[in-house]
Amino acid sequence: RTTNPIRQRDPNDLLDEIEWVHAEYGLDSFKFCDATWNVNPEHVISFCQAKIERAIALPWECNVHAGLASQEMFHWMKQANCHQMNVGCESGSPRILKSIRKGISVESIVRVFDWAREAGLQRRSYFLIGHPGETEDDIRLTEKLVEEIQPEVFGVTILCPYPGGDLYRIFDHYYSGHQGC
């Protein structure tokens, strides 16, 4: 019995569905947007190996959690015609990363971008600005990280917490009396 509540689909079931959508609707690529896609790198490798064995040539991309990746995983992803990995880096500030409890470090982000580059994958990064208590120094650390990892695609979003969440309560404390983001 496992304590991991994440249910992972059998790679062959996924591939059956991908082949069906390709045949039925002319799918020419696909993307795994699931934040838990690589919670188990061995599962990702199994998917890639099955895709290769079945000679499914469709290109694809996926979101990757930097704290859960392996170098071998990127090798197999490239072999299975993955063209891009996307990482929610969020910040280049160790203090901010710790405060949001993302489970990643600046070092793990750099390592994942290095591994993906070595494997020949395009790399996309997502960052958030506007964290509670974020300073100009924190933003400069984020700029420094972007320069270090050199993603081919770079995105920045302004944090907007939702009512009921931890960050919303923190924002309410920092900015009481203001409406919205």
Give me the residues paired with residue 157 across strands.
128
Residue 178: pLDDT band with limits 50, 70, 90 = low
Using CA atoms, how far apart are residues 51 and 80, in angstroms rounded to an integer? Answer: 6
Mapped onto helix, strand or coil, the DSSP state of residue 129 is: strand
Task: Round the average pLDDT of the chain to a whole number and report it.
Answer: 91
Other CB atoms within 10 A of residue 89 CB: 28
Q: Quick one: tokens of 168?
A: 């919303």
Q: How far is CA 4 from the centre of its chain?
A: 19
> pLDDT, tens digit, for every residue of 28-44?
999 999 878 899 999 99
Residue 78: pLDDT band with limits 50, 70, 90 = very high
Using CA atoms, how far apart are residues 108 and 89, in angstroms rounded to an integer? Answer: 10
> pLDDT, tens digit, for every residue of 48-65?
999 999 999 999 999 999
Other CB atoms within 10 A of residue 91 CB: 25
